[in-house]
């Protein structure tokens, strides 16, 4: 990996700072936790900060999409219930058809 210039490193740090600020602002976490993460930053390497951002971003995305997950679960439950009802109806029709065949004098 090529060595970063001072300007590139400065831009990367600025990007991480903005991303971290946005994530901490919108993340549903106690203020004490947010302050603790911010206090650790000066002691962290760029790689550690990047990893922290990945974790915070994943947590943020989980929070933002949790309602979608619940909606999908409900939709799937409705489809499964509808399928089960239709299967029961089809089974009853099949049994009825078999009974008619058994009762018919085919020969």
pLDDT digits (tens, 9 = 90+) for 3-56: 778 888 888 888 888 888 888 888 888 989 888 888 888 898 888 988 989 999
What's the pLDDT score for residue 72? 86
Per the domain annotation, does 22 fall within a domain? yes
Q: Which contacts of 77-84 are long-range, i.e. CB under 8 A and separated by 24 or more positions?
A: none
Distance (Å, rounded) from C-alpha 20 to C-alpha 22? 5
Structural domain containing residue 87? 6-103
Is 1 within a domain? no
pLDDT of residue 80: 94
Query: Looking at the domain assignment, is residue 24 inside a domain?
Result: yes
Per DSSP, the three-state class of 103 is helix
Any domain includes 75: yes
For residue 84, is it within any domain?
yes
Would you say residue 18 lies in a domain?
A: yes
**Number of domains present in the structure of the chain:** 1
Q: Dump pLDDT digits (tens) for 46-90.
A: 889 889 899 999 988 888 887 887 888 899 999 999 999 999 999
Q: Are 64 and 32 in contact (CB under 8 A)?
A: no
pLDDT of residue 107: 56
Q: Which residue has the tokens 């004098």?
A: 105
Please, which pLDDT band fits residue 1 given cuts at 50, 70 and 90? low
């Amino acid at each position: 990996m090529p060595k970063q210039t001072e300007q590139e490193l400065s831009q990367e740090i600025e990007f991480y700072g903005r991303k971290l600020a946005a994530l901490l602002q919108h993340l549903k976490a106690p203020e004490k936790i947010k302050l603790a993460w911010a206090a650790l930053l000066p002691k962290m390497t760029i790689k550690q900060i990047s990893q922290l951002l990945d974790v915070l971003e994943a947590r943020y995305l989980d929070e933002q999409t949790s309602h979608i997950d619940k909606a999908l679960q409900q939709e799937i439950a409705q489809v499964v219930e509808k399928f089960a009802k239709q299967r029961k109806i089809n089974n009853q029709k099949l049994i009825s058809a078999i009974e008619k065949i058994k009762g018919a004098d085919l020969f």
